[in-house]
Structure 1
Amino acid sequence: MTTLAPSTDLDFYSEEVILNPYDTYRRLRDTAPAVWLERYQVWAVTRYDDVYAALHDHRTFASGYGVALNDPLNEKMKGSALVSDPPYHDHVRGVMGGPLTPRALRKHHDYFQERADALIDHLLELGRFDGVRDFAQIFPLSVVPDLLGWPAEGREHFLDWASAGFQALGPMNERALRDLPTLKGMWEYMAEIVRPGRLAPGSWGAALVEAAEKGEVDKQLLPALIGDYLVPSLDTTVSALSTMLWQLGENPDQWRMVREDPSLIPNVLNESIRYEAPIRALSRYVTEDTEIGGIPLARGSRALMVYASANRDERHWKDPDTFDVTRSNANTHVGFGHGIHGCVGQGLARLEGHSLLNALVRKVARIEVGQPTWRVHNTIRAMTTLPVEFSA
């Protein structure tokens, strides 16, 4: 049965909602399966089952028309793995995904663990440090650029580029406009870095350039494809790692359980991503008239998949606002997306998180945290600072 479509003038991208989002998400979930956001001319899909179903219906909820809430970025990103549909999506994802398969990532396990052990030893020596800058940011920055084959120059811009790239996936509001020069600089640099010989031989980036030289992908799309590697490998991982550290410090009983039973380590990362989804929401283009829970969505409209709300939906999760490392269904979160557009780099993020947790379990008895400061960002749920103290 079709239901009258509800709408709201709620500003989903206001500073207030970004900093304190969960009451808003709950109100949207309780209002209807899909709610029209008048300010942004988009449907907000906030319940777990509906988000999950839509992510697995890529024909009706397509990515090839873009996943941002503004046309310029959707046009710029066309042809990337993120902004494409089958069969092209399957092809380009196959080209990019080779180094990111579980089998391919296994060969990096020892290297990542050595780096994680060294970092935790260093932080124990410091005692007090910033959990974002010194833990969550420094680890991806110490491993990802080398895997991509990036030269020494340009690495100092990585975090700013990643932030600007995700900022522009929301509406073209003041925040996104402010970051446009940074985004423009990133695209210019990407266009230069994909010239043959610029990326280290044998690296993931060099393999992508070689694929273009062989005609397996369009050379014109190389900047977007390199961006597909770089941008998601930083901000989302930094968000997940800092949230993980924060919650383990806030819940010492949970940390004790993990130290006593290290088999919980994979669940810790899943629960961290569920509890604070790194990406708030991305949109899909509705290719045909459809319904979500009886709410009619017209062909040509956009639907905003609110991952962060789905991950706190009381209809799917027991006590969703509680961080619980023993949660039996934590691995069903949609924090990495789902379906054919599930994050291609999630295996890399898991390898980083598991390596750090393994080191923490063996070396750190107590994690104390202060009050985090949150970023005001269109797309990423992340902290700017998190005071932390380790003790052995």
Structure 2
Amino acid sequence: MKSRRREEQSAVTLAFTSSDIDLWSEEVIRSPYETYRHLRDLGPAVWLEQYQVFVVARYQDVYDALHDHEAFSSGSGVALNEQLNQKMKGSALVSDPPYHDHVRRVMGKPLTPRALREHRDDFQRLADELVDHLLERGSFDAVVDFAQLFPLSVVPDLLGWPSDGRDQFLAWASAGFNALGPMNERALADIPVLAGMWAFMADIVQPGRLRAGSWGADLVEAAQQGTVSKQLLPALIGDYLVPSLDTTVSALTSAMLFLGRHPEQWQAVRADHSLIPNVLNEVIRLETPIRALSRVLTRERDLGGTVLPAGARVVLLYGSANRDERHWDSPDEFDVKRANANSHVGFGHGIHGCIGQGLARLEGHALLTALATKAETIEVGEPEYRVHNTIRAISALPAALKA
């Protein structure tokens, strides 16, 4: 059956623009933006021969797909390999309505704007303390000492995590996102890490393991009451954990990089703190943390004037959409005053928009406020980029702050 479907699908795709581009090659991962531009110029959807998927690279087409969850289904998985898609079934990310709406309501209770406001003062205090410490140090690594340190100081406590396992959080998050791409050497190398994560998750969701009153404990209680399936608890806890780290670390590191490279814009932010939300949006637009996720078409669908066949897997290239010259003026430039920066698709959009984006914004705003209040100058060196299937991330960035 699978063979017949592929033959039928391949026959249909002869009418489409095809390409032998490898979006998951080390070369493209390290320097992707000219490749993204080329894909946008090829058409609304391009057939990638090597992976037997369509890729959608233009802003409006990605936006339209994200807002049509009935045609572009997440229930068959958002990864480019069936191993992870099957493992994640039943999570908020890999589901369709009405189940998706139910589980998202359960998970979203502590992530509402009202609920997150309770953490604002604590987050600002922690951010102020971190920036004070970095000012005392002078020079530091913006990844390890800034972007990673802050989420790791708040997320485990919000989840009610015990002391054991915390040292594995970053490795687990990285492995989880790596496996969303094709099952290449990078993904295969992380399979043992993922196996360890799933084993730990299965243990951590036992009643009493997570601190009472925490996000994680409340989810376990919901399962005990029959609101969500006990069998799905590891995947649901993973929905909290994995997206809350790597994506935030990526955005915070990129913020330090861009503000350090544009001192005149940094001074504008210091003079007007109301720009801070826009700064974060512009960072996420320009250096989108999640490069792409995929969907499966439930029916034939016209996208940008091109008809895609039912059953096709379609990769939505967020990192390209956010630099599409059809939507943005001077899309490759960093501009803290960009009027439409908040229209980016870096957090997704539609019903599958990132459930944790409020937490990410709260963290980012607290850190940028602390920096704008305390640091007159930001100096950065040359970044080293991490080769990763899904996350656009810097592995090291020399930095210095001066009051």
Amino acid at match of 1:344: I
1:165-184 paired onto structure 2 within 5 Å: 165-184=176-195
State whether structure 2 residue 185 is matched by structure 1 residue 155: no
**Per-residue CA shift, 1:70-92, capped at 9, x if unaligned?**
00100000000000000000000
| Corresponding position of 2:143 | 132
* Equivalent of residue 66 in structure 2, options 33, 55, 59: 55
**Per-residue CA shift, 1:325-359, capped at 9, x if unaligned?**
00000000000000000000000000000000110
Which runs of 4 or more aligned residues in structure 1 lie more than 3 Å from their structure 2 counterparts after TM superposition?
none
| Corresponding position of 1:352 | 363
- Counterpart Cα distance in 1 of 2:277 and 2:74: 29
* Equivalent of residue 28 in structure 1, options 39, 42, 67: 39
State whether structure 2 residue 111 is matched by structure 1 residue 100: yes
State whether structure 2 residue 303 is matched by structure 1 residue 281: no
- Counterpart Cα distance in 2 of 1:268 and 1:36: 35
| Corresponding position of 1:312 | 323
State whether structure 2 residue 214 is matched by structure 1 residue 213: no
Q: Quote how far apart the aligned CAs of 1:295 are.
A: 2.0
Q: Quote how far apart the aligned CAs of 1:64 are.
A: 0.5
Q: Quote how far apart the aligned CAs of 1:293 are.
A: 1.9
* Equivalent of residue 67 in structure 1, options 78, 81, 91: 78
- Counterpart Cα distance in 1 of 2:29 and 2:142: 21
State whether structure 2 residue 287 is matched by structure 1 residue 262: no
Q: Quote how far apart the aligned CAs of 1:125 are.
A: 0.4
- Counterpart Cα distance in 2 of 1:199 and 1:332: 37
Runs of at least 5 residues in structure 2 that lack an aligned partner in the other structure: 1-12
- Counterpart Cα distance in 1 of 2:177 and 2:137: 32
State whether structure 2 residue 304 is matched by structure 1 residue 296: no
| Corresponding position of 1:228 | 239
- Counterpart Cα distance in 1 of 2:44 and 2:306: 7
| Corresponding position of 2:4 | none
Q: Quote how far apart the aligned CAs of 1:53 are.
A: 0.4
- Counterpart Cα distance in 2 of 1:95 and 1:127: 43
3-state SS of 1:202 partner: coil
| Corresponding position of 1:141 | 152
**Per-residue CA shift, 1:249-274, capped at 9, x if unaligned?**
01001101000111000000000000
TM-score by length of 2: 0.96
| Corresponding position of 1:387 | 398
Q: Quote how far apart the aligned CAs of 1:292 are.
A: 1.5
- Please give the root-mean-square deviation of Cα atoms over the aligned residues, in Å: 0.9
Instruction: Kindly indicate whether the alpha-carbon contact (under 8 Å) linking 1:278 and 1:382 is maintained by their aligned counterparts in 2.
Output: yes
- Counterpart Cα distance in 2 of 1:224 and 1:163: 16
| Identical columns (%) | 70
**Per-residue CA shift, 1:121-179, capped at 9, x if unaligned?**
00000000000000000000000000000000100000000000000000000000000
3-state SS of 2:307 partner: strand
Q: Quote how far apart the aligned CAs of 1:3 are.
A: 10
Q: Quote how far apart the aligned CAs of 1:281 are.
A: 0.2
